[in-house]
Amino acid sequence: MELNDIHDNPGSSKSRMRVGRGIGSGKGKTCGRGVKGQKARTGVAIKGFEGGQMPLHRRLPKRGFWNPFATNYNEVNIGRIQDAVSAGKLDPEGVVTNEALIASGVISKPRDGVKILGVGKLEAKLTFEVAAASKSAIAAIEVAGGSIKLTAAPVEAPTAADAG
């Protein structure tokens, strides 16, 4: 095969329709745009216009809201951390923090901190200093002989006394 032999398969791409080139082309004069009016001109975008009827995006109800105070954690399973320790990317003697996980390539962005989840098996004795952790992750870390310090304040469920 030579470089000058490379070509598309026949019929894989259509050539551009040249409009406004005489009545014999089938796209002469008005070029397939009909006659006059707003839609015959350039720069027209009437997306979502339904002829004066209330558009669909305004007929449907709004739903949900954006909470500006929500925390966005990096969620990491203990199995993923064990893989990083086994591969030599994460130092088992050091403290496992947000910065340590970024440096080892386990997570890519700092976000609002790290939440450790309990999927997988942890064999290394590690010291964690993270924003949050699930109960199963805390149990697995303590079973492996490690310790965990949570930096974020725990969120408590509202009680009946808080409602009134």
Please state, in angstroms and as integers, the Cα–Cα distance from residue 6 to each residue in 13, 16, 93, 126, 140, following that order.
15, 21, 57, 57, 58
Q: Are 144 and 96 in contact (CB under 8 A)?
A: no
Rg (the chain; Cα; Å): 31
Domain 74-150: CATH architecture, name and number where available: Ribosomal Protein L15; Chain: K; domain 2 (3.100)
Please state, in angstroms and as integers, the Cα–Cα distance from residue 30 to each residue in 24, 33, 82, following that order.
13, 6, 68
Q: Chain-centre distance of CA 111, in angstroms?
A: 13
Domain-wise residue ranges, the chain: 74-150
What does the block give as tokens for 12?
A: 């894989």
What does the block give as tokens for 51?
A: 């002829």
Task: Note down pLDDT in tens along the chain; length 164 residues.
Answer: 899 999 999 999 999 999 999 999 999 999 999 989 888 998 887 888 888 999 999 999 999 999 999 999 999 999 999 999 999 999 999 999 999 999 999 999 999 999 999 999 999 999 999 999 999 999 999 999 999 999 987 666 667 676 65
Q: What is the pTM of this model?
A: 0.60
